[in-house]
Structure formats: structure tokens, C-alpha cells
Structure 1
């Protein structure tokens, strides 16, 4: 079974945690003791119903305030598919948490309160989703029970959001009216909304096609580790382990090594369960090559006629994640791109982007916590990159503070030069 990674986002009290709790509960993905603990806590708080949001809001501060702060990851499976959920916070001061949760997502669910409609935060979440190139977007109009399951209200929200989404890069947009509290259209179709002809949310999650979202054209294999076993029966074994970032690899394929530029062929593709006849994203495999080439961590294996850009000048959109320190021209940082690490100098801040209005502030001199802007970087050694729009794995990077070794920024490459 394949795995669908999806992130949830929405304004405060739109019901993200309740929705995930409902998905877990109705798909029988929680243990009895978990359910008993949630029921007990719900009773202690005096609520008349089982508060399923408590299944995901794990921090004490989250439960006290009724909000989501941390990115909570949850796992569940149905007979059709496995799921990894990232429950991301809605507050603007936790933008970095949402970026973290959505950066690896195949799909994003943005919740909207049917009573409030499309808010500024809804637009911000949609923009961040499109900026991170999440391929599929679901707009779940929640709390339909509080507007008497009104088709007219649902259509109003759909028209307003569709008009806004037309300005963004959203490839696949689906609208589903739900009530997370009551379970309407979450796991099974609701009898309260006979006017809605679409599928339930879980049915959509089970069947959305994600295989073609990966870049299967450009072969990209960043080398993570060189495997040389010490056992005598494997003394001739030399394998290169890593995660396939793009394309399809097969034994016998001609490949090129960067930075040397030497060509060879794949002798075999090994996994923990034995050899395989092909490898594709996001599989983690070990390649054995026909020729002995000096290959080390951070190198790239690609096709001779389809190479990534070898670049030291990067233009990127950066989300700044550090509190107390700002990103400004002349800042020196460490950059981690695929499996390669280098030092980077911030050459220029072109503009800071207002994620609510999409306005560009070209007079900005720095980026603070949770702010996003376009930045020029110069790195100390060549990186093997693609534009983020073409490949999220080879087009993304993180910035690290060299003195504290903490992650301070996440970037998406827009353009690159040698």
C-alpha cells in the first residue's frame, strides 16, 4: 500500500483537531485506553460529548487554550492506504510550524468555519500551500450543522475561495461540506446533505491519485552513505545508499556521477528485502555501479543527458524560523541541501512578502520570525539543484545557525546559477 501524507490547516476553532480525531475514531484507528482517557477528560471538563480533538492536542498548553501549537503527527491506515497526518497550527505566529508540516505533504486540508466563511487566515494557509507546491488541496467547509446544512452557504464559500485560488498555483482543488463533530461526510456520506453529490473526505483521501505527483522524468539520486561491509564474504561489495529524489532507476541504466562527470551503469539495486528491478521516489535503496568511481556523501547520480543545475548562486523564497535573530544581507549560515552541506552568505534581500495580502515590501531590510521573502544566496561549494517547482526534494533546503546548530530557515529555490 502506498502512503498519503496530508496536512491540516485552518483558523483557530475551525475544528482541525476534532476532524482528525473523528477520522481516527470512525476508521477504528485508536485504542480503547486512548478513547477512555479522552472520554474521562471530556467528562472532567463538563462537555456533553466526547471531545475527539484531545486525541491530537497533546501539549498541556494546547489543551488549556483549546488551540494547536505544535505539529502533531498521527498515523492510521485503511484497507486501501496508509496515512500520515500533520496537524498544523492556525495562528500566524506558528507559520513556521505549518511550513514544516506541509513541506512533505501530498495533500492539504484547509478547514473553514461555515459560519465565518473565508477569513484572512484561510487565504494565508492557501497561499502557503501553493508556495510549498502541495499538489492537492481540499477545502473542508466545517460546522455545516451550525448553518442548518445550507447548500446556499456552501456555494457562497466555494465561489469566494475559487476566485482567490485562481491567483495561486493550485493544481487540484476539491470542496467537501462536513461536520467534524457529528461525522457528516467525514468517513461516510451524510444524509443531512442530500444536495452534495461528491464523496466523503476519507473516500477522497483513499482514492486521490498521487503517483504522478512525483517527478519521474529527471533521475536524481543524492548519495547519503557509502556501504562497505566488513564481512569477508562481502569484501568486494561497494554500494551507494540514498533516497531516490526523482526519476526511475533500473539495472543496466547508464548514469552520470556529479561532480566528477564520469559515466557508468547500474549493476544492481538493493534494498533491505533484496534486489529490485526498479527504484523510484520516494524509495530508499542502495545502488551498485559497474565501475569503481570515487563517490562520497553529498554527490549526485543522474542521467548523462539530464543533469541538475550545478550552482553556487541561488535565488530562493525563504521562510525564516528563528526567534530573536533576523535574516539580513551579509548573514552567514550553513545550508543543507539533499545530503550536501555547505556554508552560505546572504547577498541580498529582494523583498518581504505579506502572506495575507500577497504584497511585496521591497524596502524590507530583514526577515523576522515567520516572515517570508525572496533572498539571494552565495554558497561555498556547488550544489546540484532543480527549481522547487520542478522537484521539491532537490529544490528545497534548510538554513542552519552555525553557532547553535539550530534550523533557522527553510528555502525553495526559484532560480540558480553557477
Structure 2
């Protein structure tokens, strides 16, 4: 066989292999399943649009295919549920479970944990206990937030430029969180990791068993991973939303001055509850978090049928179309796409209150138990920053978030901090 014939044969074999692979990976949709959005690129399916055109892509899919539809990404079918069906995922916990491991390698990060549902339940119990004592923790939180602000931002008599704002907020938030989670004595030693008395009091805890000990260290890291990072992300988005809107910053400064004068600089829980404009601002920051999809779940029962009649099979990934919830004109009016910081001031709708149109903390009885504590801390640090500094973007404009597929990240632009006159 000559060289040309050999190359031609290899080419034909390659095509046959690709065809076989395509047939094997061809998505199979049941008769009662949500419609599969058509695609033109074999194997890749909708992966390109998922990564590079998420917001427009899902908006068009919703318009054309309705509340529930399926897409083909990463060689697998994923079902997207919109506002009318989204809450059914939250309330049917026995049929769905969160599937964070689909995009974060938790099994590699926390090798001593095999059952993350058990860890979630344990930490939820702990967070509820902490939230029940939130008033007594406020003074500790305030003390170490101020310490962190002084340490990492400091005196800005001459304006200072900061670039890595999210990292900056991580450092500041870590101080009060460490002192609340592991106690002031332990937290004073930067090289020490320890567990809470809550963990050591668990029936299976045993200091003499290294496996159990390391397990609870990982449980603590999961708690910190889930609390510090998300809280500081919200704060970072909030600071950028303030910095690009000087009129909003000035109005919140006026409210902060009144409350600060009333409490003589020592904030208590009732003082935080008086921050009505700040609470509305924080809720609008969260509403504009701009994650197109959020709370990836997986079907754990044999199948699940939504009230609209669509059925999804066991093992199916189900992602929630958050943009459709948080930017709904039915819920928020014709200006739903706009950022209006004081939208909720007279609406009797706090930033920590969960409902079907505000699902940033999940929904149902499994909504994030730490949301009350998180909102309390977010308002407290923003209150202190607003009182101490005038903050503005270096560009003088509202900065846009960064996007990785359907996930948003805070802007990576510079901010200018300057002492209040």
C-alpha cells in the first residue's frame, strides 16, 4: 500500500471514530422531558454559548422554549429551570441535591470528607446557634472589622489607590470571622488552626483519633470557605456599586451619620436594624449579583416531574436561571434591569428575607441559614467604611463585573479611598 493510500485510510478511520463517538454521546431526550435546544456543532453542543454568550443565550432560549428547557454542554444534558419552576427544586430536597462538586473539586480540597450533606447539616446547626447570639457577637464583629480596616486600608489623608479589592475584603472579613468561629484567644495566634467547642462536643469527636480530628478540621475549612469568600464577594460588589454612584454614597453617609451619633459609635443589633437605606442598597447589590445560573442541582430520585408536566430523569443536572428571577418585570416593574439602591426602603422587604422572586440565598427550609449573620456583617462593615472614607472608582465610572460563562465576579479595577473631611 502506497503512502497516499495509507494516509487516506487513516483519514477514513478517523472520521468513522468521530462518527461513532458522536453517536455514543448524542443526547437522548425522553418524551416528557423539557425540549432540547437545537445546536449545530456536534459534541460541543451549546458549550461555546454557555461560556461566551451566557446572558443573551439563556434569555433567547427562555423566549423560544419556555420556562424549562435543556442544553447540551460538556458532553452532557443540563436542564435549565426558570422562575415558575425554580422554587420546586428548592422545596423538593429529597429529589434534588446541591451539586457543587460538579464545578469545584471538593473531594480533592477536603480529602477527609466523604459525605458533604452531613457536613452541610452540621454547619447549618452551628450557624443557627451563632445567629441566635448575633447581638452578643456584634461588639466582637465591630472591634475586629475596625482593626482590619485600620490594618489593611489605614489612614487615607492622602488618597490611596487599591486594586485587588476582593482580596482586601477577604483579609478584613477574616479577622472578625476567626474571632467568632474559633474564639479570640485562638484567633490571636495567626499560625494556629483549631476547631470550635461545637465540633469538639460532637459525639464522634476524639482527639486521640487523627482521622476524626482531621475530619473536623476539614469541616471547619468548609464553613470558612463558604462564609468568608461569599461574604467578601458581596461586600466587594457593594463597594464598587457605591464607588460608581457618588449620589448614593452621600445619601447613605447621611443615614450612617445619624445612626453613629445616636449610638456614639458603638453599634448594636437594633442600630443595624435601623439602617433601612443601607439594607435596601445591600438587597439591590445582591439582586444585581449577575450570576446568570446558580445553585446547580442533581436529580437524586428515579425521576422528578414538575407541575408543568415536564419530567427529568435521575442523575440529570438541573441549573437555576437566576436572571429570570432577579430581573423579573412582574416582580420588580419595568425598571427591573436598573440598579435602584433605595428600591426596597418602604417595601418591608429586608435583604435577608427569602421569597420566590429573591432567591439569592436559595429557598424553602434549606435556604442559607447564615444569611442573617452575613447581611448583619455586610451592613456593619459598609457602615464603617462609609463613615470613614469617600470611595470612588479610578475611572470615575461604574465598573462592570467580570464573567466566566454564567458566573459573575466582582470588577478588577482600582478604587480610590480618601478620608472623610
Asked if Structure 1 and Structure 2 have the same fold, meaning a TM-score greater than 0.5 normalized by the shorter chain, the answer is no
**TM-score (norm. length: structure 1):** 0.23
Q: Which protein shows a greater Rg?
A: 2
**TM-score (norm. length: structure 2):** 0.23
Report 1 or 2 for greater relative contact order, CA contacts < 8 Å, sequence distance ≥ 6. Answer: 2
Higher-strand-fraction structure: 1
